[in-house]
Every structure is written in structure tokens, then in C-alpha cells.
Amino acid sequence: MKILVYGAGPLGSLKAARLHEAGHDVSVLARGQRLDDLREHGIVISEEGSDEEEVTHVDVVESFEPDDQYDLVLVVMRKDHVVRILETLAENRSVPTFLFMGNNAAGADELVAALGEERVMLGFPYPGGNRDGHVMRVLRIDEERSYTIPIGEVDGSIRPRTRRVADVLRSMRGYDVEIRTDMERWLRYHVALLIPGLVPALYAADTEMKRLGETRDLLVLSVRATKEALRGLRAAGYAPSPPVVRLFEYVPEPIWVYTIGWLMRREYAKVSIEGHSRQGRGEMQYLYGELRSILDDAGGETDAIDRLAPYFDPETPPYPEGRRELRVNWAGIAVPALALGALAFALAASARKRSRDGDSTRLDSDPSNRRRGSPSESSTRRYESDLGGVFYELTGPEDATTVVFTHGFALDHGTWRGQVDELAGPYRLLTWDLPGCGESDGLNEPLRLGDAADCLLGILEEEGIERAVLVGQSMGSLVHQQFADSHPDRVRGLVHVGGYPLHDGFSNRWIALYEAHQAVLKRLPARSIPPLFGRIVAHSPPARAYAERASSTTGKENMLYLEEGLIRDLAAGISDPIDRPQLIVVGDRENALLRKKAGEWCRDLAECDRATIADAGHLANHDNPAAVNEVLSAFLRELE
């Protein structure tokens, strides 16, 4: 791919070098002294903590002309500089995609007005860096734990273009890519975490991170200003992105004061924060203005922000070093402690009451008493397996591509209603209930993944289905991986929602955690399990209510059999990654370990896309069905 990197600072230079190394036809645009440096020395990169310098020679240009032909232009520049070049970019009508990689609190409106929505994408470059003469000093890139670049379309969609750009960026050594459907919100919150609090506090400390780390008043103001900014964005109607940023609001002030002080004394902060703040003061002021406009419109408290704002002006004298006059708010520590104590007391009392009622309120796992779904009679069927009757539903034209949906642990086929309703018509859709779940017969022994895969094979053969696309959520993903490992010729592609790579196997620590979980499950009163389960696997209220209903139908006895079978199979895993096109879907509120593992999993596969679903947890297909439908539909179209 022919790529222009517009911007030759530390991050633009790093991206140009890595893309060139990956085999792309790369040019970098520079002017003035930086142009001379590149022509004389090439791109010189020095990673933090290393004495070595990496030198890369790429094509260097000093202008962007209306008739220039590039497949992709990466604009890696300060926001205050980006707005100055929009007219120049707009004069070129040949470039199909401009990916703006940098801080942005105002959103994409100005970019779209100049270039059109179809040509604009947003992203963030990572990692931090600063310029030292002709040498670009950047944070160390650990290839075992790569940086994840977030990118996304302005309208939140995921298109073939989105995936192509992701594949290009993913080809860089030391990088992974996360396709987001909420990139504008992500960028706003990234600015809110840094600009109104930490950056002016650093200026108040004369742009010396050690001095900031030792001046408690500035740390307190920085934390309070950041909390004000986050509350202001929520008041303006922007949900937190990624959701983990809400921790900043709820973690008590003393903990953040200590943490930021510790961070300011580390080399990481010197490279990523101090250098960029010193060299990019104009951008910091510009971004503060963008964010402040949003906060002022939303109203709300800005006392700490107002106290720090004058320090954006270099003429403002530094704050007295080491001053500790502001009192830290310890209420954030005391109140949660009291609340946790009260909650523990209430839970203990509730558990005692439930245990007294235990035997009389056990969940009924008899399939004859189970809640029935509402599929039409013509499409509702049963397959008689060695494990008993297995319920399934089949709709759609017989000559269409078959898509098989398999639910997660203790759930049922109803989890896919949002997808079946959307895809009905162009595809033949098969949803089913694993043995022990939903409308299938209950279990009398642990369910092994291989047995579940055999049930699926029996259903496909009974219906004359030779090949299918397999879409699995959590445990359903594990079943599909086992199926594809045993019957690769029956699989066209796989989609994993909240899944985990079975080819990696599960560590002894994971197995121990599952065994501990099973021990707890055995001791919990049956009535208490569904509400807890719903809160664990789902984020949205409707998804939680569904998970509670479905797990109640499955029942405690079947859940124990399901988990016992999983424990036996997870340690063994499968030998190799599945060699089929795959899509890995994770919710942005998913467990952090599973989100991290999704990136590693995708890198292991020959053909893989990955998508992060906004406002969704482990049960992303139910939390945010519209977003999942979009990425799923695009994947199916590409397979066609």
C-alpha cells in the first residue's frame, strides 16, 4: 500500500519507520530543519531505556499536492497544526482515506466539513515520545505486550475500509489495532484525563515532573480537575469511553494523589508527558479550549480546573515547590469502607435466610417444567443425541449460507434473538440449546466440549448442511473451536463473542480458579445464583434480566455439570489455531484479561478481524445487538 505520513514528529516518524519495515511504500512529509535532518540522517528512533538507535530511510517529501496519489494518508500532527492544513488536504480529491491520529476533543465535524465523511477516520497513535535534535525518543515497544492503536469511523460503523486500514497498522512490529465504534468519545475522554488537570499542574511545576510529584497541592488540584472534567463530559451526554475511565471518578482522592505522584517520578512520565507538554504547549492550550467549550455548555463545577487554567500561560509564575496547604479529601476512603461493611453484613444475613429456605426453593432442572421460547412450530425441532433431546431452531432458505449460533454457559438460544431478527432472510440460521440448557434435556453427567461438538455435527448432518459459519458466545466459542478442530471442512468461518483461544490451553492458575468457582457454586443456595450470574455476564439491564431468566431455567445442577466438563477440557485445549477466517468480538466493558487476550488471539490467526463493541460486557451480542449485527453482517458479506 502506498502511504503518506503527514507529520514527521516522534510518533509520525515511528509509524513511518514501522510501516516501511512491514513492506509498505511509505513517504513522510516534513519541512524546515526536520526535512534537512531526515535527508541527512534518516528516521532515527531511540527507545526509552536503550542506548541503541534504529535508523530507517524512507522517501521524504516537502509538500502535498492536489494530484498526489496515495492509498492512505496518516495525519500524525498536533491538533492546532491539523486545522491549518485542512485546506491543503481538501485540494486533493484522489486520496480515499485520511486517518487523523492525535488528540481531539472537538470531534470530527471540522474534518468532515473539509474532506467529507467517507474520507475521514479517527485514531490515536501511541506510544508517547519527544524530539531530541534529529533523534526521536519514544517509549519502549515491548513486542510481547504490544501497543494497541484504537481507530474508528466517524459514524461508528465498521466497513471493509476500516478493516483494511486496521490490517495495515497491525502489520507494524510491536502494534495491535482495536476497531472502535465510539472513537470520538474515546478521544474526548483521553483529553479529559490529561489536559484540564495533569498538564497545567505540570506547567505550574515549571514542567518538571519530579517537582510536580513532590508538590502535593498540585497533585490534589490535578486529581480534582480531572474528576470535574469527567463529570462534565457525562453531563454533556458523553458516556465514558473506555468505561474503565469511570474508575477515576470513584477511586478515592488520596489513592490518586499518591499514584500520580509516584508516576511523576518515573522515566515513563519524562518521555511521554514531560517532553510532549514542554514541546507542545500550543496544542495543550488548543485542546483545553476545545474541552472547556464542552464543559461550559454542560455546566457543573470547575473550581479546580479554574485554579489550574492560568498555568497554560507561560507568563504565569510557577506554583511554590513542595507546598502542602490543601487538605486531601479522606471521605472517599471512609465512606466506601463503611458501605462495604454494611453490604457485607446485609449479604451475610441474606445468605443465612436463603440457606434456611434452601431445599424448598431449589431450581427445578426437569426439562418438562422449563420455560418455553416462542419460535414458530415449523422451525422448531429436536435432535435425539446420546445425551438426550437437543432443541434447535432452523429458519431461512435452504440454498443460503448457513450460520450456526451457539450460546454461552448456562444460557439458551434466546441470546441470539437480536441477531436472528436482523439476519433472517439472506441466510439460513440455526440456533440451538446446548445439552442441559434451555429447551434441551437436562444432564446426568458432565458435558464435554467434544460431546457438544458431536451434537452439533449430528444436527448439521440431519439437516443436510455441509458447511456453516459458526458464531459462538463464550462457551459457545469453545464448542465451535473444538468442532472446527475435529471437522475443519465443515467450517467456513468463525465469530467469537467474549471467547477465549482454546489452542492456547488454560494455565493451572485458570483451572484452579474454575475449580474454586465450582466449589463456591456448590455451596450457594440455588435461588441466589441467577441474579449473581446476570450481573457477572451482562452489562445492560435487559441483558442481565435475560441472563437471570435463562440461567434460572438451566438450574444449579446442570450448571455444575457444565462447569465440571469445562474444567476437564480447558487444560488440554486443542493443538493449533483454527485455520479459517475469524472475527473476534469483545465488549468494551469485558473483563480486562479477555480484552487483552483477544488481541493476542487475533495475532495468532492467519485471517482475523477484531472489533470492540461500545457499552457492552461479556454478553456483547445482547448488551448492544445493533453494533454486533453491524460487524457480524460485514464479516458474513466478506465471506460471501
pLDDT in tens, 149-165: 999 999 988 888 999 99
For residues 319 and 341, state if they share a domain: no
Identify residue 430 by its one-letter amino acid code: L
Q: CA–CA separation, 359 vs 362, rounded Å? A: 6
Looking at residue 271, its pLDDT comes to 54
- Among 437, 396, 417, 408, smallest CA distance to 496 is for 408
252 domain residue, yes or no: yes
State which of 310, 329, 348 marks the end of a domain. Answer: 329
* Helix-strand-coil split of the chain, %, nearest 5: 50, 15, 30
Helices (H), 384-474: 417-423, 449-462
Contact 540, 615 (CB under 8 A): yes
The rounded Cα 6 to chain-centroid distance in angstroms is 27
pLDDT greater than 50 at residue 349: no
Looking at residue 374, its pLDDT comes to 36
For residues 314 and 336, state if they share a domain: no
459 domain residue, yes or no: yes
Domain count for the chain: 4
For residues 321 and 467, state if they share a domain: no
For residues 103 and 115, state if they share a domain: yes
Contact 26, 3 (CB under 8 A): yes
Residue tagged 418455553 (cell numbers): 372
For residues 408 and 289, state if they share a domain: no
The rounded Cα 221 to chain-centroid distance in angstroms is 30
Which three cell numbers, joined as nine digits, stand for 85? 492544513
Looking at residue 144, its pLDDT comes to 63
For residues 389 and 322, state if they share a domain: no
Contact 410, 460 (CB under 8 A): no
For residues 345 and 437, state if they share a domain: no
Instruction: Using alpha carbons, list the distances in angstroms from residue 512 to 438, 507, 573, 594.
Output: 28, 9, 16, 17
Looking at residue 339, its pLDDT comes to 44
Q: Give the relative orientation of helices 508-523 and 541-570 as an angle to the nearest 10 degrees.
A: 120
For residues 548 and 530, state if they share a domain: yes
Looking at residue 368, its pLDDT comes to 33
Q: What percent of the chain has pLDDT over 90?
A: 63
Q: Which H helix or E strand runs over 25?
A: strand 25-29
pLDDT greater than 60 at residue 356: no
Average pLDDT, the chain: 87
Strand partners, 587: 613
Across 189-215, average pLDDT = 93
Identify residue 617 by its one-letter amino acid code: G
pTM tops 0.85: no
206 domain residue, yes or no: yes
CA angle, residues 631, 146, 570, in degrees to nearest 5: 70
For residues 431 and 345, state if they share a domain: no
Please state, as a whole number, how many other Cβ atoms lie within 10 Å of the Cβ of residue 74.
29
For residues 373 and 501, state if they share a domain: yes
pLDDT greater than 60 at residue 371: no
The per-residue b/e assignment along 138-177, b for 16 or more CB within 10 angstroms, e otherwise, is: bbebeeeebebbbbbbbebebeebbbebbebbbbbebbbb
pLDDT greater than 60 at residue 33: yes
For residues 201 and 138, state if they share a domain: no
Contact 471, 632 (CB under 8 A): yes
- Among 223, 220, 213, smallest CA distance to 248 is for 223
45 domain residue, yes or no: yes
182 domain residue, yes or no: no
Strand partners, 390: 383
199 domain residue, yes or no: yes
For residues 79 and 150, state if they share a domain: yes
Long-range contacts of 526-529 (CB under 8 A, 24+ apart): 526/358, 526/361, 526/362, 526/363, 526/555, 526/556, 527/354, 527/357, 527/361, 527/363, 528/350, 528/351, 528/354, 529/363, 529/556, 529/559
Q: Which residues contact 103 (CB under 8 A, 6 or more apart)?
A: 78, 79, 124, 187, 190, 191, 195, 283, 287
Give the strand pairing for 468-473 and 402-406: parallel
Q: Pick the more confident residue, 587 or 250.
A: 587
Q: Which domain holds residue 336?
A: 332-361
Q: CA–CA separation, 88 vs 63, rounded Å? A: 10
Confidence class for position 275, pLDDT limits 50, 70, 90: low
Q: What is the CATH classification number for the domain harbouring 561?
A: 3.40.50.1820
SS3 136: strand
Looking at residue 367, its pLDDT comes to 32
Q: CA–CA separation, 305 vs 241, rounded Å? A: 21
Q: What percent of the chain has pLDDT over 70?
A: 88
- What letter would DSSP give residue 270? I
pLDDT greater than 80 at residue 577: yes
Across 592-602, average pLDDT = 85
58 domain residue, yes or no: yes
pLDDT greater than 80 at residue 344: no
183 domain residue, yes or no: no
Looking at residue 337, its pLDDT comes to 47
Confidence class for position 504, pLDDT limits 50, 70, 90: confident
pLDDT greater than 50 at residue 536: yes
